[in-house]
Structure 1
């Protein structure tokens, strides 16, 4: 069973990169297509409006770890700081952090943080966005030619008040060397489980470990000694158990209710953003269909909305104050384009889009949808 789920995990992540809207339908009936929306693409200056994604200026394909694209997005469900300016965020690789306040969008950048590394896996700690940095030894040709200091950041925090980025945990904090690369993590709100890779002359060596700071995460600093961190060993199977998808039947009741109308024969994989702001939980449903569609789902601030968006643009949404579930389609994307990460701020839904083919990404951006136009 574990081997089956591991294959599902690999396959469905590939689907996210190059799934086509002409394949697979997530519902057996035709759904209305949203008419009122705004398209944006990423440019050298930041982001710009465009009439259609295919009309964005063409860019050279790059490995997805080196491309400007939204790698992770989320809504701040529990708004601890009532005066916070933003309620949703999207992490833009090689660029910065998109911050959303309903239909208002700001992009904050820091080249020293974003240009050298790949940015991914957005979570929240005490209401502040936190993400991690890594370098791919497979895709980044500069990795072996550049001296990598052990003080290089692993976790970075964005402070919404000052609009600045702060490294909070470094590789040296975790007792990792120059040749180590953290390839992923899972955070349950207390403990961080990490996988690390070391490239050797005769192959690649993986290791797994858990750690927990003895101070609040947002008070951590690369200057702290290892005595401020507690470490525990972790097996490969233990780590896989955390990150591999569970059966959709085990997902939260709100999510199962939202997608109850999807026919059982359809197969899909869904990344569920936990309301607590920790690492996403992954679920899969294996129907009779041979092909999988990937999806992203989660609550908005205060659980006003619960939303799920599939890579083909099929969207399900429910407002907490209403009993009915709305289903609609985002505009059809051209072949080679797909939808990805989502976030909701106020009454505005944001969805990432990108043009990709087999681990490479070209043009990318996002679309915004006014939910008040859909849910009266």
Structure 2
């Protein structure tokens, strides 16, 4: 049976304990699910565990809505999973970058949190990628949500403030790789985003002049492996620079039509009707910057999803918990199931797979603000045994 036929016949399995009291969500609260027509089977033996962030660590809970209330903050200031991915090497490890806190490392069912206040305090961490199999992310400070502009700029001015940081999984330590000064950026400039294709970094930098935000764009490449660099030992001479334009940068980062998506992704969600609108962020198995694809459908509010290719699985998780997954190897299997239903105002986010265990971010979200946050651990082998 080919994968398209298999996906069209996939059944919707609810993970165990999904008969969650007080957890129902009104139909009008979110866009329609891409898998509403799938058959829901009876609950199965428990195969998932909830976790939440308590400010300095993570802890287990029975349901997201039962965790302690937290003050809503702009997403750039909140303790939340900003980015997650499976290691691109032959290993089964995976990682989740936790803003304002540290890095979660996953090895099968084992979860560890690694923190470093000198790295994560007072800055926003985002955009996890991999260089030579090593996790790398970037830091910036957002002044958009700060009511005191002058204080925001002063706090952003730091000697040798890091831009790119590596997490060394062997030493469980964080190492700055490239500083803002290395990239010839002024103290009042911030990197607003980047796209890395495995060789070249395309960056957008911003600064505020007379309370107006000005952007500049440039490409750069290191003259040595990125993970061998250090801000203190490097200078701008260690890098090759080239100017860019807003149009070039937007072309790299703007959503692309879904018909241009990789075959693995198109095959994975081929059972979704063409009239359904959705946007999916795709991470390849090489660990470079993700690419966003968009299916217009017949209108309506598109549902967001994250998708990735790992050593054993190709998977996509939508914000409402609808999940498509395909196993790799000799016995290819395609399945579609739904994660436990979240309360109104909560959504699923990025995810990573380590071995046969999937970790999915969840958060309480209201426009640009975030409240409670955490992640769900799912035993994929137990779920897929239902098919």
TM (normalized to structure 2)? 0.88
Which residue is equivalent to 1:10? none
Pick from 199, 219, 222 the counterpart of residue 228 of structure 2: 219
The structural deviation recorded for 1:104 is 0.4
Deviations 1:267-302 (A, max 9, x none): 0000000211000011000000311111001122x2
Q: Does 1:48 align with 2:59?
A: yes
Which residue is equivalent to 1:296? 306
- Contact 2:205/2:216 (8 A) holds in 1: yes
Q: Does 1:257 align with 2:267?
A: yes
Structure 2 CA distance for aligned equivalents of residues 22 and 176 of structure 1:
41
Structure 2 CA distance for aligned equivalents of residues 197 and 55 of structure 1:
40
- Contact 1:269/1:294 (8 A) holds in 2: yes
Which residue is equivalent to 2:132? 126
The structural deviation recorded for 1:204 is 1.4
Count of aligned residue pairs for this structure pair: 351
Which residue is equivalent to 1:166? 175
Structure 2 CA distance for aligned equivalents of residues 151 and 205 of structure 1:
22
Structure 2 CA distance for aligned equivalents of residues 297 and 272 of structure 1:
5
Deviations 1:132-165 (A, max 9, x none): 0000111244413436135100000000111000
- Contact 2:283/2:307 (8 A) holds in 1: yes
Deviations 1:163-202 (A, max 9, x none): 0000000000000001111100000000000001110015
Classify 1:202/1:299 alpha carbon distance in 2 versus 1 (closer, same or farther; 3 Å): closer
Q: Which moved more, 1:89-98 or 1:22-31?
A: 22-31
Q: Which moved more, 1:210-219 or 1:20-29?
A: 20-29
Q: Does 1:77 align with 2:88?
A: yes
Structure 2 CA distance for aligned equivalents of residues 146 and 346 of structure 1:
41
1:351 alignment partner, SS class? strand
Q: Which moved more, 1:144-153 or 1:65-74?
A: 144-153
RMSD: 1.6
Which residue is equivalent to 1:365? 374
Which residue is equivalent to 2:70? 59
Pick from 17, 20, 37 the counterpart of residue 29 of structure 1: 37
- Contact 2:79/2:100 (8 A) holds in 1: yes
* 1:275-290 correspondence runs (5 A): 275-290=285-300
Classify 1:207/1:31 alpha carbon distance in 2 versus 1 (closer, same or farther; 3 Å): farther
Structure 2 CA distance for aligned equivalents of residues 356 and 342 of structure 1:
17
Structure 2 CA distance for aligned equivalents of residues 374 and 116 of structure 1:
40
Structure 1 CA distance for aligned equivalents of residues 353 and 238 of structure 2:
36
Structure 2 CA distance for aligned equivalents of residues 276 and 130 of structure 1:
13
1:368 alignment partner, SS class? strand
Q: Which moved more, 1:28-37 or 1:177-186?
A: 28-37
- Contact 1:297/1:308 (8 A) holds in 2: yes
TM (normalized to structure 1)? 0.90
Structure showing greater radius of gyration is: 2
